[in-house]
Amino acid sequence: MQKKSYLTALAVCAAMTLSGCGGGGGDDNAANGTSTSASGNPPPTSDGSSTSNNASASRSAIEGMWTGGWPSLSTQSNGWSNYSTQLIILDNGSLFGTYGTLGSDQIYHINGMLYGSGSVTNDGASTSLTVPVSGLFTQFDMSGSALPNVNHSFSGSAWSQFSLDITLDEGTLLPLSYADSYDQAAQLSSVAGNYSSLSAISGQNSFIQNNIIISGSTLTLPSDANGCSANGTLTPHQTSHGVVGVFDANLTFNGTGCLLGDGTTIQGVAFQSYDNQALEILMVTPDSQTGYMLMGSRQ
Residue 292's Cβ-count burial label (10 Å; 0-12, 13-18, 19+) is buried
Classified as helix, coil or strand, 132 is: strand
Q: What is the pLDDT of residue 173?
A: 85
Q: What is the pLDDT of residue 230?
A: 98
Task: Please check the confidence at residue 272 and state whether its pLDDT lies above 70.
Answer: yes
Q: What is the pLDDT of residue 47?
A: 35
Structure confidence at residue 85 as a pLDDT band (50, 70, 90): confident
- Report the Cα 201 to chain-centroid distance in Å: 15
Residue 263's Cβ-count burial label (10 Å; 0-12, 13-18, 19+) is exposed
- Tally of CA atoms within 13 A in the half-sphere of 197 that contains its CB: 26
Q: H or E segment at 5?
A: helix 2-10
Stronger pLDDT, 118 or 101, i.e. the higher one: 118
Contact 212, 296 (CB under 8 A): yes
Average pLDDT over residues 22-48: 33
Task: Please check the confidence at residue 219 and state whether its pLDDT lies above 80.
Answer: yes
Q: Which of 42-56, 144-158, 191-205, 256-270 has the lowest mean pLDDT?
A: 42-56
Name the pTM for this structure: 0.80
Task: Please check the confidence at residue 187 and state whether its pLDDT lies above 80.
Answer: yes
Task: Please check the confidence at residue 37 and state whether its pLDDT lies above 70.
Answer: no
Q: What is the pLDDT of residue 111?
A: 85
Average pLDDT over residues 102-115: 77
Average pLDDT over residues 39-50: 36
Beta-carbon contacts of residue 57 (< 8 Å; ≥ 6 apart): 239, 240, 241, 242
Proportion of the chain above pLDDT 90, given as a percent:
58
DSSP lists the bridge partners of residue 177 as: 67, 163
Q: What is the pLDDT of residue 206?
A: 82
Q: What is the pLDDT of residue 48?
A: 36
- Tally of CA atoms within 13 A in the half-sphere of 126 that contains its CB: 13
Contact 99, 176 (CB under 8 A): no
Q: What is the pLDDT of residue 20?
A: 31
Contact 251, 235 (CB under 8 A): no
- Report the Cα 288 to chain-centroid distance in Å: 14
Contact 217, 278 (CB under 8 A): no
Looking at every residue in the chain, the average pLDDT score rounds to: 79
Stronger pLDDT, 83 or 294, i.e. the higher one: 294
Q: What is the pLDDT of residue 8?
A: 44
Q: What is the pLDDT of residue 126?
A: 60
Most confident by average pLDDT, 106-110, 120-124, 251-255: 251-255
Q: What is the pLDDT of residue 125?
A: 58
Contact 38, 92 (CB under 8 A): yes
Whole-angstrom distance, CA of residue 213 vs CA of residue 133:
38
Whole-angstrom distance, CA of residue 113 vs CA of residue 291:
7
Whole-angstrom distance, CA of residue 244 vs CA of residue 265:
24
Most confident by average pLDDT, 36-50, 78-92, 229-243: 229-243
Whole-angstrom distance, CA of residue 117 vs CA of residue 134:
9
Tell me which residue of 182, 71, 60, 165 sits closest to 121, measured CA to CA.
Answer: 60
Stronger pLDDT, 132 or 54, i.e. the higher one: 132
Q: What is the pLDDT of residue 197?
A: 93
Average pLDDT over residues 257-271: 97
Classified as helix, coil or strand, 47 is: coil
Structure confidence at residue 124 as a pLDDT band (50, 70, 90): low
Whole-angstrom distance, CA of residue 68 vs CA of residue 18:
9
